[in-house]
Amino acid sequence: MNKDDRMSRMQELVELLNRAGKAYYQDAEEMMSDYQYDALYDELQSLERELGVTLAASPTVNVGYEVLSELPKERHESAMLSLDKTKETEELKEFAGSQKVVVSWKLDGLTIVLTYRDGALFKAVTRGTGEVGEVITNNARVFQNIPLQIPYQKELILRGEAVIGYKDFEKINAEIAEVDAKYKNPRNLCSGSVRQLNNEITAKRNVRFYGFSLVRAEDVDFHNSRAYQLDWLAAQGFEVVEHHMADRETIEEEVIKFSEKIASNDFPSDGLVIVYDDIAYGQSLGRTSKFPKDSVAFKWADETSRTTLKEIEWSPSRTGLINPVAIFEPVELEGTTVSRASVHNISIMEELKLGIGDEIEVYKANMIIPQIARNLTESGVKDIPAACPVCGEPTEIRKVSNAKALYCTNPSCQAKQIKSYALFVGRDALNIDGLSEATLEKLIARGFIHDVADLFHLDRYSEEIQSMEGFGEKSYQNLMGSIEKARETTLPRLLYGLGIANIGLANAKLICKQIGYDTEKLMNLTMEELDAIDGVGEVIAGNYVDYFSDEVHRELYQRLLAEVSLPEAEGVSEPQILEGKNFVITGSVHHFSNRSEVKALIEAKGGKVTGSVTSKTDYLINNNAESSSSKNKKAKELGIPIISEEEFLALIQ
């Protein structure tokens, strides 16, 4: 490239890297992988050296990004600089020279500055731009492991990293229904958790703090040693980063020892930090405009492998977002076999110019998450689905937060009906173990399920299911056993499982009992017939009739009847000896598995079970009649009999 071309490329890189940085630091989103960012950053640095030009907006001279929130801002006493980085152990040896160094984890979270006065936590501030941070003192007080009181009574300032572990990250993400609302990685989750305006939310996120640097502590002899400072902080009650001493001869060995721990670590890290142990020597070196000269970051030289892209699997979610997943010829990376990697969105696909049959280079980000590093053949993006792979209805490309993504336009797409499938397999309906919402989502996305009747024929996809992440032969067999067990059910459970609006299990039992458990009559009930049933009002009746007026629903119900076995109609031959009687059940039970079994028996004999004691209650069942519970007190106030299980069983006999 001539000079003009190189200048143009440099401007392009500055703009691209700043956009990626803004997305990552401010919006908790990901435009590109760390691998791509580092490669582009290195290219920019190289151009700046060649041209002798550094643009004012260049990320090589600007530290951090302006934070956007309602948290109060505060300027740091001294700028918090980034660290220069290397991926070569030879460069670490050169850095160490004749000095001893401290090697520690470079944690991947949010850097926090803590200030203690008179032995108590006084202030906590985020790194922010490096010059100005956000005050998050209230949130820091609810971190899992920060000491609120310490022995040292003078002013203490230290820096550390707030992180959320992988287990907590997965647990929190699993509770988020919308796929596109899930956090991409623990660092993004931690950033959002630490900067909450309500620290009750922070407290639930299990944020931990690991000290990595002492800034100030007067009148303490630290023996001119960084390692001693960290050990002293640990003695004050802080958890500090794991750290080991090394020198030029042993530093490569230490790097290997740290790398061997990554697979078993619960906390996220993106490399190591190497700092001179000799404090005075390190400080004498000064700093550049961006980096301190007493320390350097080591980033793992990612193990990459070349492979061939076989297909892009488009995976629909309950929000309509259709996620692209790259499927490639299996390769060994960091000791495991990988064959798939999320591409996140169409914008990243276009950046990589990703096409079927391309030769690609893959790696594990932070030695854990499979990613595409680069595309060697760049044939270009083709064949973005015009139809949803689940429902077949049209798709559309939308721009969300500066990234293009594919969406299904059909509001009735099966992938958007996860809640209805979850209800059908739930405990009060068909009770099929092993089908969480996450598993249902995967099965639907792969086209194994188009309606709930397909759940009874998952054996058609035995090989595919056993090869799914989180599945194996044993879990597959357990699932099949649970499905077979679910085939024997009751008509009320089946009716409830259809998910008709406002039809709960209790209403389903009332309706089935009224029609004598007649499966044919169940789908032909009129508004008048339903309205006449005690406990079924006009709204419920309207929803019921509307549901069965749809031929698709009638056909599904009939197919389900062919899949299940309904025992003799429950309650038909049972003497209705409890008809007109109202019960409340509380406390533990001994003769039944749970209170639900007691409830089922009462209802089978014509009685009704409610949740609270009122003047209409006939009996309160409680094995501890002397309990001071609110239900017992209310029953005694109203003169309602409190009976034990034994007395209840005697009553129905």
User: Which tens digits make up the pLDDT trace of 219-248?
Assistant: 999 999 999 999 999 988 899 999 999 999
Closest by Cα among 225, 224, 238, 67 to 158? 238
Closest by Cα among 441, 381, 376 to 406? 381
Q: How confident is the model at residue 66 (pLDDT cuts 50, 70, 90)?
A: very low
Q: Residue 172, by phi and psi: left (phi above 0), alpha (psi -120 to 50) or beta?
A: alpha
Q: How confident is the model at residue 334 (pLDDT cuts 50, 70, 90)?
A: low
Closest by Cα among 300, 305, 318 to 108? 300
Q: How confident is the model at residue 160 (pLDDT cuts 50, 70, 90)?
A: very high
Per-residue buried b or exposed e for 60-69, using 16+ beta carbons within 10 Å of the residue's own CB: bebbbbebee
CA atoms within 13 A on the CB side of 69: 24
In this structure, are strands 295-298 and 269-276 parallel, antiparallel, or unpaired? antiparallel
Catalytic residue among 85, 87, 106, 154: 106
For residues 544 and 534, give the distance between their C-alpha atoms in angstroms, rounded to a whole number: 15
Residue 106 appears among annotated catalytic residues: yes
CA distance readout (Å), 388 to 69, 414, 651: 37, 10, 59
**What pLDDT is recorded for position 368?**
67
Per-residue buried b or exposed e for 334-370, using 16+ beta carbons within 10 Å of the residue's own CB: beeebeebbbbbbbbbebbebbeebebbbbbbbbbbb
- The residues pairing with 403 across neighbouring beta strands, listed in sequence order, are 400
Question: pTM for the full model?
Answer: 0.51
Per-residue buried b or exposed e for 556-568, using 16+ beta carbons within 10 Å of the residue's own CB: ebeebbebbebee
Q: Tell me: the pLDDT tens digits for 462-500?
A: 988 988 877 888 889 999 999 999 999 999 999 999 988
Report the run of H or E that residue 511 belongs to, with start and end: helix 505-514
The answer to whether residue 357 scores a pLDDT higher than 90 is yes
Better-scored residue on pLDDT, 515 or 539: 515
What's the mean pLDDT in 256-273?
86
CB within 8 A of 122, min separation 6: which ones? 115, 116, 137
Neighbours of 617 (CB within 10 A): 20
Q: DSSP secondary structure string, 170-225?
A: HHHHHT---GGGS-SSHHHHHHHHHT-SSHHHHHHTT-EEEEEEEEEETT---TTB
Two structure tokens written together for 447: 């086209």
**What pLDDT is recorded for position 192?**
85
Cβ pair 309, 356 in contact under 8 A: yes
What's the mean pLDDT in 320-340?
85
**What pLDDT is recorded for position 186?**
85
For residues 586 and 622, give the distance between their C-alpha atoms in angstroms, rounded to a whole number: 5
Better-scored residue on pLDDT, 491 or 342: 491
Q: Tell me: the pLDDT tens digits for 279-306?
A: 999 999 998 877 899 999 998 766 788 9
End-to-end CA distance of the chain: 96
For residues 396 and 393, give the distance between their C-alpha atoms in angstroms, rounded to a whole number: 10
Better-scored residue on pLDDT, 129 or 279: 279
What's the mean pLDDT in 23-28?
63
For residues 58 and 18, give the distance between their C-alpha atoms in angstroms, rounded to a whole number: 8
Average model confidence (pLDDT) across the chain: 86
